[in-house]
């Protein structure tokens, strides 16, 4: 299967640069697999599209300000810890770091556990120039002006890191110097990691708007965007209909947004992303499957988590169920996949030739989904993270 089979033409003007003032006002394209057709609507109608016995599963991950702007030192720069004003001439220029996954340390603590080795997988720019052994210094540098936020004479940087490993396509492994309040500092100086197709700097409002209203487990570098449409009123209407809601966690990292750089779909490999399924959620999901009820996933991240966990359970027990626990998921789902858990999906519109589009095609049928995408383009739908959505059932 060729990656190019999942291409569609999208004029740049269709890419949403701003969220709508009302989350629930987004358009919704309802895709019916049984009848092979679609219907235009708005997201506010979504509660009425669910069946009373459905189980709705959401990803409760919380985006943190994972984009850091700072300065880098050359290989022969003298150490700047403690901060040495006389050494400022050794700083070599501006650097941008996107933290994509914590490798060691405690992601849930700002206390003493943060003194343990704190290593991260990240993407850096300029990628070619930053080598192993370089030191990076972060002090709240602005995304628009590298000079804004530079430490004044005698003022130490908020965070210091050393590059300890190098990967391809700008990937690095970095180790932060120990601080007691690491995440508090990241929250203070970091930037919301808006996707590159949003052609503007992040703003204060994005800290709340690029977040689902049920997000509470910190760890993602991108929002599970299908959930951005929900409001408290929409959730209340869903619960009033007696529809059960379960929460799982998948922290969005490189596995979600890495581009596909191969010609054949089968040759692509996903990065692993941390997930957790509670005992309560696993029980609700397995009960729904046993009772023949639909499991409706909100977002492709939820789909990948449930199908990965079901694959593990099938290897151990041979049944279509999930087990409670945490781990690292790397389920790459494309047409031909047999879905063990997910019956329906609420999702945003995705990039051409992306793994997320392939997943939607796996559930909805490639030809039907691609034709629906072309309809969405012609009908003026807003695409990607801050855009409209599709319900595949």
- Residue 328 predicted with pLDDT over 50: yes
Pick the range with the lowest mean pLDDT from 57-61, 103-107, 201-205, 267-271: 103-107
Q: What pLDDT, on the 0 to 100 scale, is given for residue 381?
A: 98
Are 325 and 345 within one domain? Answer: yes
Instruction: Tell me, yes or no, whether 344 lies in a domain.
Output: yes
Residue range 34-48: average pLDDT?
A: 97
Q: What pLDDT, on the 0 to 100 scale, is given for residue 107?
A: 53
The CATH number that applies at residue 261 is: 3.40.1780.10
Q: What pLDDT, on the 0 to 100 scale, is given for residue 88?
A: 44
What's the predicted TM-score (pTM) here? 0.89
Are 75 and 152 within one domain? Answer: yes
- Show Cβ contacts of residue 239 under 8 Å, excluding neighbours closer than 6 positions: 245
- Work out the percent of the chain whose per-residue pLDDT is above 90: 76
Instruction: Tell me, yes or no, whether 194 lies in a domain.
Output: no
The CATH number that applies at residue 105 is: 2.40.10.240
Q: What is the DSSP string of 217-233?
A: EEEESS--GGGGG--HH
Instruction: Tell me, yes or no, whether 233 lies in a domain.
Output: yes
Residue range 265-273: average pLDDT?
A: 90
Q: What pLDDT, on the 0 to 100 scale, is given for residue 319?
A: 81
Instruction: Tell me, yes or no, whether 197 lies in a domain.
Output: no
Domain boundary among 136, 159, 189: 189
- Tokens 């629906």 correspond to 372
Q: What pLDDT, on the 0 to 100 scale, is given for residue 46?
A: 98
Are 178 and 88 within one domain? Answer: yes
Instruction: Tell me, yes or no, whether 196 lies in a domain.
Output: no
- Residue 276 predicted with pLDDT over 80: yes
Q: What pLDDT, on the 0 to 100 scale, is given for residue 250?
A: 96
Q: What pLDDT, on the 0 to 100 scale, is given for residue 111?
A: 43
Q: What pLDDT, on the 0 to 100 scale, is given for residue 79?
A: 47
Are 276 and 355 within one domain? Answer: yes
Longest dimension (CA), the chain: 72
Are 248 and 144 within one domain? Answer: no
Q: What pLDDT, on the 0 to 100 scale, is given for residue 129?
A: 79
Segment 151-173, tens digit of pLDDT = 444 568 999 999 999 887 788 99
- Inter-residue contact 313 to 264 (CB < 8 Å): no
Give the residue with greater pLDDT, 254 vs 240: 240
Phi, psi dihedrals of residue 369, rounded to the nearest 5°:
-65, -45
Instruction: Tell me, yes or no, whether 199 lies in a domain.
Output: no
Are 226 and 367 within one domain? Answer: yes
Residue range 139-143: average pLDDT?
A: 63
Are 75 and 180 within one domain? Answer: yes
Are 101 and 219 within one domain? Answer: no
Altogether, the residues listed in the chain come to a count of: 393
Are 115 and 149 within one domain? Answer: yes
Domains contained in the chain, number: 2
Domain boundary among 133, 164, 189: 189
- Strand pairing report for 344-348 and 325-329: unpaired
Which range marks the domain in which residue 358 is found?
3-63+205-392
- Strand pairing report for 389-392 and 344-348: antiparallel
Q: What pLDDT, on the 0 to 100 scale, is given for residue 81?
A: 44
Q: What pLDDT, on the 0 to 100 scale, is given for residue 86?
A: 45
- Show Cβ contacts of residue 357 under 8 Å, excluding neighbours closer than 6 positions: 6, 350, 351, 369, 373
* Helical residues (DSSP H) of the chain, grouped into ranges: 46-49, 182-189, 206-209, 232-240, 254-257, 279-290, 300-317, 355-364, 366-378
pLDDT averaged over every residue in the chain: 89
Q: Is 151 helix (H, G, I), strand (E, B) or coil?
A: coil
Are 212 and 76 within one domain? Answer: no
- Residue 303 predicted with pLDDT over 50: yes
Q: What pLDDT, on the 0 to 100 scale, is given for residue 139?
A: 87
- Residue 342 predicted with pLDDT over 50: yes
Pick the range with the lowest mean pLDDT from 32-36, 52-56, 178-182: 178-182
Residue range 104-117: average pLDDT?
A: 52
Are 268 and 161 within one domain? Answer: no
d(CA 39, CA 15): 21
Q: Which residues pair with 39 in a beta bridge?
A: 30
Are 278 and 227 within one domain? Answer: yes
Q: What pLDDT, on the 0 to 100 scale, is given for residue 80?
A: 45
Instruction: Tell me, yes or no, whether 115 lies in a domain.
Output: yes
Q: What pLDDT, on the 0 to 100 scale, is given for residue 149?
A: 38
- Show Cβ contacts of residue 38 under 8 Å, excluding neighbours closer than 6 positions: 29, 30, 31, 32, 372, 375
d(CA 360, CA 300): 8
- Residue 366 predicted with pLDDT over 50: yes
Q: What pLDDT, on the 0 to 100 scale, is given for residue 82?
A: 43
Domain boundary among 157, 189, 221: 189
User: 311: burial class by Cβ within 10 Å (0-12, 13-18, 19+)?
Assistant: middle
Pick the range with the lowest mean pLDDT from 16-25, 65-74, 138-147, 294-303: 138-147
- Residue 259 predicted with pLDDT over 70: yes
Count of C-beta atoms within a 10 Å radius of residue 238? 19
Instruction: Tell me, yes or no, whether 353 lies in a domain.
Output: yes
């Amino acid at each position: 299967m060729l990656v190019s089979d999942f291409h569609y033409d999208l004029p740049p003007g269709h890419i949403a640069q701003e969220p709508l003032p009302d989350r629930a006002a987004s358009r919704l394209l309802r895709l019916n697999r049984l009848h092979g057709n679609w219907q235009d609507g708005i997201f506010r109608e979504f509660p009425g599209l669910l069946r009373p016995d459905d189980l709705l599963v959401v990803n409760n991950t919380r985006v943190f300000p994972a984009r850091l702007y700072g300065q880098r030192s050359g290989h022969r720069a003298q150490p700047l810890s403690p901060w040495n004003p006389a050494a400022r001439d050794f700083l070599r220029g501006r650097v941008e770091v996107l933290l994509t996954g914590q490798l060691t340390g405690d992601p849930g603590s700002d206390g003493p556990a943060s003194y343990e080795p704190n290593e991260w997988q990240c993407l850096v720019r300029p990628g070619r120039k930053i080598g192993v052994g370089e030191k990076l210094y972060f002090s709240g540098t602005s995304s628009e002006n590298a000079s804004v936020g530079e430490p004044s004479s005698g003022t130490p940087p908020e965070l210091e890191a050393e590059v300890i490993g190098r990967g391809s396509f700008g990937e690095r492994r970095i180790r932060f110097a120990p601080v007691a309040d690491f995440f508090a500092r990241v929250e203070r100086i970091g930037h919301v990691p808006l996707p590159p197709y949003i052609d503007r700097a992040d703003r204060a409002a994005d800290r709340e708007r690029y977040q689902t209203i049920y997000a509470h487990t910190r760890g993602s570098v991108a929002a599970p965007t299908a959930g951005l449409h929900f409001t408290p009123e929409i959730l209340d209407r869903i619960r009033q209909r007696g529809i059960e809601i379960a929460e799982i966690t998948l922290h969005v990292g490189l596995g979600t947004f890495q581009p596909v750089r191969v010609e054949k779909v089968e040759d692509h490999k996903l990065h692993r992303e941390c997930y957790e399924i509670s005992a309560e959620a696993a029980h609700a999901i397995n009960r729904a499957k046993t009772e023949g009820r639909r499991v409706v996933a909100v977002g492709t991240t939820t789909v990948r988590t449930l199908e990965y966990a079901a694959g593990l359970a099938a290897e151990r027990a041979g049944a279509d169920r999930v087990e409670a626990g945490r781990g690292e998921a790397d389920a790459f789902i494309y047409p031909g996949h047999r879905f063990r858990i997910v019956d329906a999906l609420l999702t945003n519109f995705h990039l051409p030739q992306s793994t997320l589009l392939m997943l939607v095609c796996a559930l909805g049928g490639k030809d039907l989904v691609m034709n629906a995408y072309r309809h969405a383009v012609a009908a003026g739908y807003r695409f990607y993270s801050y855009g409209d959505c599709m319900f595949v059932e």
